[in-house]
Amino acid sequence: MNLRSGRFKQKMSAEAAEFTSSLEFDKKLFEADIECNLAHTTMLAQQKIIDPETADKIIRSLKKLRKEGITALNLDYDVEDIHMAVENYVSSQIGEEAGFMHTAKSRNDQVATDLRIVLKDNLEDIQQEILVFMEGILQLASEHEETVMIAYTHLQHAQPTTFAHHLLAYTHSLKRDYERVKDAYKRVDLNPLGSAALTTSSFPIDRELTTHLLGFQDYLRNSMDGVSARDFIAESVFSLSLLCTTLSKICEEMVLWSTYEFGIVEIADEFSSTSSIMPQKKNPDVAEIARAKTAILYGELMTILTILRALPYTYNRDLQEISPHLWNSLHNAQDILKLVANMLLTVKVNKERCLKLAKSNFATATDLADIMVREKNIPFRTAHKIVGRLVSHALDQNLKPAQISTAVLDQIAQELTGEKLDLDEKLIQKVLDPLENVKSRQVPGGPSPEQVQEAAKHLKQFIFKERNIT
Ligand code: ARG
């Protein structure tokens, strides 16, 4: 079917046809386009807009195409897009009657519908993958509730925590990423079909029926909005960008933690590479590439927003140029998620090194100040000053936290306040011990094994609930 033969005398130039064709990146719409045509044709017949026998022929030919696959289509460059390619196929099978399929339908509402169908599918897969990853992290965390490690602020030793607590920080970020994807999905799940070119049709089409047949939650209530809206794409790519931000942060930590200097984890061979010249090398390439590929998502989001910016209502061909950026975002987000999950879930944790770091650098100093407040009713600011001076003194004298005695502490307290503290030696050692320190943090959200178990329980319930409704 040559669309142009009515209106034009000339064919489009070959270069213009190639320049404007979306066929290459429309391929992902192939199956959705068949579904869209099937639903629309079924509805046309039901509404007695087209003859049931014609509808039957169209439907049979579409189903045949679905079975044969995309290779059955003529995808020459002068076929403008997938919608024309599918229509041409039906015409080649049943002749002119194929033309009834396009009654009260435009490629404008069709492409918007196809995009939503495919995107929904991808977002569902991504949501499931996030849940699987979260579950995997919880499993790993359950093995490390007492694996004491150092936690950082400004990338400097801050306070002790456990490996499990740190892993649960990842899980909670991923939970929000999941919820954001799920929320974006709600606005993808709206049917534009029936908007036709932009103002619906004078045929009595049944939008509820196609909405039901295509499995959408609802249909878009304004036909002009229906064909021009692509915010659902921007929003989905944004939610995936944030998901990848979380993943890139995990990667960054794996890169750092697997260094000789940190030595906290070892990334599995399967996710590492070596050097062509330095035979001793083990490089965290998967983490690095995932960290870098996150930038692709940000770039695609910017491109999509910039294409959308200031477009007049309703359909503009500009919109077509969004599709390849959507596909690229989806495929990169899916790859990053899969690889980062598999990499993280196979790391080997060096518990001794974790503990050594937690013990080495006065990370428990906050709690030493805290017992002065608790036991001796000293204002926290004064206690903070005493402990700060103590750490400075210990560093000068090369004293380790375990060597801090009541006497040293009293000497410093006396210098600063004129009074001794007289703290119990055992108590001092207890608060300076990182595991005891962590166990004492019984506040919800904190690192004590009980609190971590509690948080993990809630996350498991969340995963279970989500699995059973989606
Ligand atoms: N290939 C087009 C797209 O992806 C389909 C819609 C074409 N509509 C039109 N009026 N030219 O947006």
Q: Which has the closest alpha carbon to 155: 370, 383, 361?
A: 361
* 154 classed as catalytic: yes
How much distance in Å is there from the Cα of 319 to the middle of ligand 1?
8
Q: Which has the closest alpha carbon to 248: 290, 310, 195?
A: 290
Cβ atoms within 10 Å of 436's Cβ, excluding its own: 15
* CATH code assigned to 118-137+169-198+217-356: 1.20.200.10
- Please state, in angstroms and rounded to a whole number, the distance separating the CA atoms of residues 429 and 408: 13
Cβ of residue 107 lying under 6 Å from some atom of ligand 1 = yes
**Of 81, 82, 105, 118, best ligand 1 pocket probe by most atoms within 8 Å of the beta carbon:** 81
Q: Which has the closest alpha carbon to 45: 194, 206, 215, 191?
A: 206
Of 5, 166, 202, 275, the active-site residue reads 275
Cβ of residue 319 lying under 6 Å from some atom of ligand 1 = yes
| Beta carbons of 174 and 133 less than 8 angstroms apart | yes
- The number of C-alpha atoms within 13 Å of 414 and in the hemisphere containing its C-beta is 9
Cβ atoms within 10 Å of 66's Cβ, excluding its own: 15
* pLDDT, tens digit (0-9, with 9 covering 90-100), for 116-146: 999 999 999 999 999 999 999 999 999 999 9
- The encoded tokens of residue 347 equal 């790391």
| Beta carbons of 275 and 281 less than 8 angstroms apart | yes
Q: Which has the closest alpha carbon to 96: 2, 196, 11?
A: 2
**Of 79, 111, 321, best ligand 1 pocket probe by most atoms within 8 Å of the beta carbon:** 111
How much distance in Å is there from the Cα of 242 to the middle of ligand 1?
30
- Please state, in angstroms and rounded to a whole number, the distance separating the CA atoms of residues 379 and 432: 20
Residue 469 reports pLDDT greater than 80:
no
Where along the chain do its domains lie?
4-103, 118-137+169-198+217-356, 365-432
* pLDDT, tens digit (0-9, with 9 covering 90-100), for 432-447: 899 999 999 999 999 9
Nearest atom of ligand 1 to the alpha carbon of 26: 4
**Of 19, 22, 317, best ligand 1 pocket probe by most atoms within 8 Å of the beta carbon:** 317
* pLDDT, tens digit (0-9, with 9 covering 90-100), for 283-295: 999 999 999 999 9
Q: Which has the closest alpha carbon to 34: 108, 92, 85?
A: 85
- Please state, in angstroms and rounded to a whole number, the distance separating the CA atoms of residues 266 and 289: 17
Of 21, 22, 61, 154, the active-site residue reads 154
Name residues whose C-beta falls within 8 Å of residue 379's C-beta, 6 or more positions apart in sequence.
373
**Can you name the residues that pair with 330 across neighbouring β-strands?**
none
* 173 classed as catalytic: no
* CATH code assigned to 365-432: 1.10.40
* pLDDT, tens digit (0-9, with 9 covering 90-100), for 392-412: 999 999 988 888 889 999 999
**CATH fold for the domain made of 4-103:** Fumarase C; Chain B, domain 1 (1.10.275)
